[in-house]
Structure 1
Amino acid sequence: MFRSIVILLVFSSVFAACGLKNENNAALSILDDSTPALYPFNAEVDTSVTTSCGQASPATTSTTGTGTTGGTTGTTSTTNNTRFTVISQLIFKTKETLNLRFTYDSTQTQGTVDPQQGFVLAGGLFGKTVQGTQGVVKWFNQGINIDTALQSAQQISFFNLEIKLNGTYSSTSASTTILRQCNTTDGVNCTSAITTTQCFTADSKTCLVQDTSSDAKPVIISGTIKCNAPNIVPQ
Structure 2
Amino acid sequence: MLRLISILLVLVPFFWGCLKNDNNAALSILDDSTPALYPFNGEVDTSVTTSCGQASPATATTGTTPGTTTGTTGSTGTSTNNTRFSVISQLIFKTKETLNIRFQYDSTQIQGNIDPQQGFILAGGLFGKTVQGTQGTVKWFNQGINIDTSIQNVQQISFFNIEIRLNGTYSTSSTNTATILLQCYTTDGVNCTSVTTTSRCFTSDNKTCIVQNTSGDAKSVIISGTIKCNAPNIVPQ
**TM-score for both structures, normalised by structure 1:** 0.89
**Alignment pair present for 1:126 and 2:160:** no
Consecutive unaligned residues in structure 2, runs of 5 or more = none
1:95 equivalent in structure 2: 96
Q: In 2, distance between residues paired with 1:223 and 1:211?
A: 22
Give the aligned CA root-mean-square deviation in angstroms.
Answer: 2.5
Structure 1 unmatched runs, 5+: none
**2-structure distance, mates of 1:61, 1:105:** 11
CA shift at 1:193, angstroms?
A: 2.8
Shift of residue 158, structure 1, vs aligned partner: 0.9
Q: What is the match of residue 192 of structure 1?
A: 194
Q: 3-state SS of the aligned residue for 1:125?
A: coil
Match of 1:221 among 218, 223, 228: 223
1:153 alignment partner in structure 2? 154
- Report whether the alignment pairs 1:39 with 2:41: no
User: Are 2:63 and 2:81, in contact at CA under 8 Å, matched by a contact in 1?
Assistant: no
The residue matched to 2:232 in structure 1 has which SS?
helix
Aligned partners of 1:75, 1:193: CA distance in 2, in Å?
40
Equivalents in 2 of 1:59, 1:187: separation in Å?
Answer: 21
Q: In structure 1, what is the equivalent of residue 210 of structure 2?
A: 208
Cα displacement (A) at 1:61:
3.9
SS of 1:195 mapped into structure 2: coil
Matches within 5 A, 1:171-190: 171=172, 172-190=174-192
What is the aligned length?
230
Larger deviation, residues 19-28 vs 88-97: 19-28
Whichever residue aligns with residue 119 of structure 2, its letter is G
CA distance 1:52–1:169, shift in 2 (3 Å): same
Secondary structure in 1 aligned to 2:126?
Answer: helix
State percent identity of aligned pairs: 73
Amino acid of the structure 1 residue aligned with 2:110: T
Deviation sequence 1:171-209 (CA, Å, 0-9, x none) = 122514222211222222112233332211111111112
Check the 8 A contact 1:62/1:77 in 2, yes or no.
Answer: no
Instruction: Report the Cα distance in structure 1 between the residues aligned to 2:142 and 2:171, rounded to whole angstroms.
Output: 34
What amino acid sits opposite 2:220 in the alignment?
P
Query: In structure 2, do the counterparts of structure 1 residues 75 and 201 end up closer, same or farther at CA, with 3 Å as the change threshold?
Result: farther
Query: What are the Cα deviations for residues 17-50 of structure 1, in whole angstroms up to 9, with x where unaligned?
Result: 1111111011111111111111111100112111
Aligned counterpart, 2:56: 57
- AA paired with 2:201? C
Q: Which string of whole-angstrom CA distances, capped at 9 and with x for unpartnered residues, describes residues 46-77 of structure 1?
A: 12111111011101145599xx99899x9975
What is the alpha-carbon distance in structure 2 between the residues aligned to residue 5 and residue 75 of structure 1?
A: 62
TM (norm. structure 2) is 0.88
Would you say the 8 A contact 1:30–1:40 is kept in 2?
A: yes
